[in-house]
Chain A
Amino acid sequence: MEWIEIFDLSIFRSLLRSTAPIAIVGMAAAMCSAAGVLNIGLEGKMLNAAFAGVYASYTFESVWAGFTAGIIAGLLTAALFGLLSFTLGADEVLAGLAINIFALAGTTYLMRTIFGQAGFFSDPRIVGFEPISVSFLRGTFLEPFLSDFTYSVYLMFVLAILLHTVYYRTRLGTAIRATGENPEAAEDAGINTVRIKWMVTVFSGLLAGISGIFLSLENLTMFTEGMSAGKGYIGLVASSFGNNTPFGTFGASLFFGLGDAIGIRLQGVYELDSRLILMIPYALTVVVLILIGIRQRLRVRPVPITESSIE
């Protein structure tokens, strides 16, 4: 078994597929964190959207019905988070946790009552997304690398570029960054910081919703209890590792995606315990958190005391 055999075209494709949900929700987290909103509730938004997506796709036998329902679920969950945090003044962390617990219990309950199923729900009537053949890539050397993915991979690239532009080159972006870094300065400049916080929260609901829909309607067409499986939290860690910037978050998400892709690959090559492989993203999360800690420590590097310390 050579390493070269692990790193081939299929692992590249698997990398992008694994990265997409984390990157999309991670960029949602980045926008929130940049505006000073610690949005733990992304996990619950993803889960609600994943369920709503499956439910609508099953009911209407249409993937776009599922898509719409998922987004609505994400937005409503985000609105609940905003209501708790900004309108009622609850602690953001507690509001987020409440939403996550509520989403887990709520989707489990609904699945059992509506579908009469426990654990997971799968049905041929559920319509999922089909891969897209990108016409302008056809025939080029990039085709095997970048064509025939489903929407999430392309959305991830578009989002990264779009958000990067918004973040650094529009008034909205500077307003978001100012709100997160010094809300008084933002208010003083006539920026309504509460409105900014609502905006990033609603936007995060949209992205987390989309990310959640892709979980249940893309590579799989099913809903399983707790299927977001910590991706919302991993997105939060990715955004923190990426300094809450769009490109930074994208890069950090690739790291998680790589871990995932290698895990999947190793599973096929070695007789590894699949539960060990499934643990990889979470182990990586701990590793990244340690790296963030080390990075912060390195930033404060005491200046050495030398003769030239006094000019």
Chain B
Amino acid sequence: MNKDIAIHLKNITKEYPGVVANKNVDFQVFKGEIHALVGENGAGKSTLMKILYGIEQPDEGEILINGKLEQINKVETAINLGIGMVHQEFTLVPSFTAPENIGLGQEPRNSQGIIDWKGLNKLVVNIAEKYGFKVDPSLKMIDASVGVQQRTEILKTLYRNANILILDEPTAVLTPQETDELFTVIRTLVDEGKTVVFITHKLREVMEIADRVTVMRAGEVQGVSETKNTSIAELASQMVGREVFLQVKKDDAKPEEEILNVEDLWVHDARGLLAVKGVSLNIRKGEIVGIAGVEGNGQSELVEALTGLRKTSQGSINYLGENIASSSPKNIRRKKIAHIPEDRTNTGLNTQLSIWENLIGNSYFRKPLSTNGIFNLKKIATHSNKLKEDFDIRAPNISLKVKSLSGGNQQKVVVARELSEDPILTIASQPTRGVDIGNIEAIHEQLVQMRDDGGAVLLVSAELDEVMAVADRVGVMYEGQIVKWVNPKEVDQSQMGLYMAGIKD
């Protein structure tokens, strides 16, 4: 029996200052199975896999690979043991081609040390064919689609003779169709004798692809089950520790007059390519308009154009009857447009500063927070403490640096700052990314509350479930265009998937 266990992590404990990331975790994966590891953000999945891959060292516990006790204290050791990992953030060199990335560090070479590039290309193509996918050996990664980049990452592990593949949230960046293709690849891998660990928090995918599933919460294993003997509901309650409601409670929207009217908007991205191609949309008072789509289809550039962070190339953005296209962010903010940016740590916050300094980012220059350019520290403290209370920011005090907060609490700082200014229009981009379920609910409720109080909301999110649950109308973005407007109550996931892949009807 023992020889059939590919991975056995025994009583793993890992503590970071102030947090126990893994607590007596026991994790077993059988040879040749697809094993899902699920849990919320911060449940300890990533830490556990980093320990297995040699990036982190456990404080306690043992690692057995194929029944043999191993010390994995660096990535190289893990690779030599046949473990390969595809990270959520791809580790590819942009100017290198697929074979150059795949062979990096282990290129075939002759006795003089000269790399045999042709031989490498052939080798890579052969491996790819064996597992049923195609590669273009001359395509640089900077020009490749996300799906191709991901396949390159998988090939990289196979090139290094991995028998155990760890895939960290591999479907987060894929369309439903690309996800299906990935699943086909995973099944082929298992047919060829590989073992796959699949990290995710999407339970539907677990049920579809995995043989067995381990659920983690707060650093501990909550349960291990065979997928055929469990259900999404059961896994969800193990994951969260209570019943989750996947629906957002809200009444039907009662939209009133138009707040924003975008007409034929064209925007270039940083590389000078067209990212937004003739988008038109309108948002009325009292409604939440959602933008769905796989990331990288122009959503970021659209939001940047609306908030003044990026110049527009053509078209108009009419806000309360005034064209604000290519206006400055400060001007736009003055007109009571709030922005919850997609990149919390770089755009949304200054993580080196304290909570209160971040909370007053939009209002510090105004009375009552400052007079004649001097801060009224007492008023700032009152103001910040009130926001901390109102938005349930969990921190001992407001002087704490933002970087020491969890992702969810960081996001609450952003949300508090933005929504406390009584915005007429709120633009929220990926507002719940990296936020745990409890706080996701709170943020969703706040957006609905904004709407019910007579605000207009634009919600841009790559999480299909989120857009469908929160928005009243949804536009699907694909390659810079809104290819379809839908009523989220009237379409199902698979239909949305087709729209997200650019198939219009």
**Is B106 on the interface with A (CB-CB < 8 A)?**
yes
Looking at chain A's contact residues, the main secondary structure is helix
Determine if B92 and A185 form an interchain contact, defined as CB atoms under 8 angstroms apart.
yes
**Is B75 on the interface with A (CB-CB < 8 A)?**
yes
Please provide the chain B residues from 91 to 124 with a CB less than 8 Å away from any CB of chain A in the complex: 91-96, 100-101, 104-107, 109, 113-115, 117
Please provide the chain B residues from 68 to 96 with a CB less than 8 Å away from any CB of chain A in the complex: 75-76, 79, 87, 89, 91-96
Please name the residue on chain B nearest to A179 by beta carbon: B93
**Is A190 on the interface with B (CB-CB < 8 A)?**
yes
Determine if A170 and B104 form an interchain contact, defined as CB atoms under 8 angstroms apart.
no
Across-interface contacts of B266 in A (CB, < 8 A): 305, 309
Determine if B79 and A190 form an interchain contact, defined as CB atoms under 8 angstroms apart.
yes
Determine if B278 and A182 form an interchain contact, defined as CB atoms under 8 angstroms apart.
no
Determine if A182 and B272 form an interchain contact, defined as CB atoms under 8 angstroms apart.
no
Q: A175-B105, A191-B104, A301-B272 are in contact. Are A182 and B115 (CB under 8 A)?
A: no
Please provide the chain B residues from 479 to 495 with a CB less than 8 Å away from any CB of chain A in the complex: 481
Q: How far is the CA of A186 from the CA of B101 in the complex (A)?
A: 9
Q: A165-B114, A178-B104, A184-B91 are in contact. Are A303 and B273 (CB under 8 A)?
A: yes
Interface core residue of B87, B115, B266 (most chain A CB under 10 Å) = B115
**Is A187 on the interface with B (CB-CB < 8 A)?**
yes
Query: CB within 8 A of A174: which of B79, B89, B115?
Result: B115
Q: Closest CB of chain B to A248's CB: distance in Å? A: 14
Determine if A190 and B76 form an interchain contact, defined as CB atoms under 8 angstroms apart.
yes
Across-interface contacts of B115 in A (CB, < 8 A): 169-171, 174
Q: How far is the CA of A176 from the CA of B478 in the complex (A)?
A: 37
Task: Give 12 A-B pairs besides A302-B272, A305-B314 with Cβ atoms closer than 8 angstroms.
Answer: A170-B113, A174-B96, A177-B95, A181-B96, A184-B91, A186-B105, A188-B87, A299-B272, A300-B270, A300-B271, A303-B273, A309-B274
**Is A189 on the interface with B (CB-CB < 8 A)?**
yes
**Is B212 on the interface with A (CB-CB < 8 A)?**
no
**Is A310 on the interface with B (CB-CB < 8 A)?**
yes
Determine if B113 and A178 form an interchain contact, defined as CB atoms under 8 angstroms apart.
no
On A, residues with C-beta under 8 Å from B are: 165, 169-171, 174-175, 177-178, 181-182, 184-191, 299-303, 305, 309-310
Determine if B277 and A309 form an interchain contact, defined as CB atoms under 8 angstroms apart.
yes
Q: A171-B109, A174-B107 are in contact. Are A182 and B114 (CB under 8 A)?
A: no
Q: Closest CB of chain A to B265's CB: distance in Å? A: 11
Q: How far is the CA of A174 from the CA of B108 in the complex (A)?
A: 12
Looking at chain B's contact residues, the main secondary structure is loop
Across-interface contacts of B156 in A (CB, < 8 A): 189
**Is B194 on the interface with A (CB-CB < 8 A)?**
no
Q: How far is the CA of A177 from the CA of B94 in the complex (A)?
A: 11
Q: Closest CB of chain A to B484's CB: distance in Å? A: 15
Determine if B277 and A190 form an interchain contact, defined as CB atoms under 8 angstroms apart.
no
Determine if A187 and B100 form an interchain contact, defined as CB atoms under 8 angstroms apart.
no
Determine if A189 and B105 form an interchain contact, defined as CB atoms under 8 angstroms apart.
yes
Determine if A182 and B94 form an interchain contact, defined as CB atoms under 8 angstroms apart.
yes
**Is B313 on the interface with A (CB-CB < 8 A)?**
yes
Query: CB within 8 A of B104: which of A185, A299, A302, A305?
Result: A185
Q: How far is the CA of A191 from the CA of B109 in the complex (A)?
A: 17
Determine if B268 and A181 form an interchain contact, defined as CB atoms under 8 angstroms apart.
no
Q: How far is the CA of A187 from the CA of B76 in the complex (A)?
A: 9
> Could you list 5 A-B pairs, sorted by A, with CB under 8 Å?
A175-B104, A181-B95, A302-B313, A303-B274, A309-B274
Q: Closest CB of chain A to B156's CB: distance in Å? A: 8
Determine if B96 and A188 form an interchain contact, defined as CB atoms under 8 angstroms apart.
no
Determine if B93 and A181 form an interchain contact, defined as CB atoms under 8 angstroms apart.
yes
Please name the residue on chain A nearest to B502 by beta carbon: A311
Q: How far is the CA of A186 from the CA of B104 in the complex (A)?
A: 8
Determine if B481 and A178 form an interchain contact, defined as CB atoms under 8 angstroms apart.
no
Please name the residue on chain B nearest to A173 by beta carbon: B115
Determine if B92 and A171 form an interchain contact, defined as CB atoms under 8 angstroms apart.
no
> What are the nearest 3 A-B pairs in CB distance?
A189-B105, A185-B91, A189-B104
Determine if A187 and B75 form an interchain contact, defined as CB atoms under 8 angstroms apart.
yes
Query: CB within 8 A of B105: which of A165, A169, A190, A299?
Result: A190
Determine if A189 and B268 form an interchain contact, defined as CB atoms under 8 angstroms apart.
no
Q: Closest CB of chain A to B205's CB: distance in Å? A: 25
Across-interface contacts of A177 in B (CB, < 8 A): 93, 95-96
Determine if B104 and A174 form an interchain contact, defined as CB atoms under 8 angstroms apart.
yes
